[in-house]
Amino acid sequence: MSALEAALFDSGHPVLMAPPTMPKTFGENVTIRNTVTMGADIYERDAELKADRAAGRPPIGIGNGSRIEGAILDKNCRIGQGVQIVNERKVETRGEDEACIIRDGIPIVVKEGVLPDGWKL
């Protein structure tokens, strides 16, 4: 076995290459309109998902029943279930050190931002 083959088959660090093997990052009944999603650089394994649940932190991705409109989601966001990211009040600017800021009327979930279950803009 070559060094490359050994690296690809390291059970401690699997390489996820085919879509069927990729973990799901969008929940059910999620609405996303006019939104840019940057995706995730990492995928959590079972132990990491268990640690998230124990800490009360949503996993990486978008939780069930969430609604996102006219937003930008940066990398590795954790968006809980039933989250509403919609700028209904047409706010132009909001927040500096928050997980979800608004610039020029566009909601932006910052890199590695965490929005807990039920969060609403």
Domain limits of the chain? Answer: 24-115
> ∠ CA 40-44-46 to the nearest 5 degrees?
160
CATH 2.160.10.10 fits 24-115, yes or no: yes
Q: Burial of 87 by CB count in 10 Å (0-12 exposed, 13-18 middle, 19+ buried)?
A: middle
Q: Is 76:111 a contact under the CB 8 Å cutoff?
A: yes
Instruction: Indicate the average pLDDT of the chain.
Output: 86
Tokens at residue 73, please? 């989601």
pLDDT of residue 65: 97
pLDDT of residue 16: 53
> ∠ CA 66-81-36 to the nearest 5 degrees?
40
Report pTM: 0.78
> How far apart are the C-alpha atoms of 31 and 10, rounded to whole Å?
37
pLDDT of residue 15: 56
Extract the residue ranges of the chain whose pLDDT is less than 50.
18, 20-21
pLDDT of residue 18: 47
pLDDT of residue 24: 61
pLDDT of residue 106: 96
pLDDT of residue 63: 95
Could you read off the pLDDT of 70-95 as tens digits, one per residue?
999 999 999 999 999 999 999 999 98
pLDDT of residue 114: 97
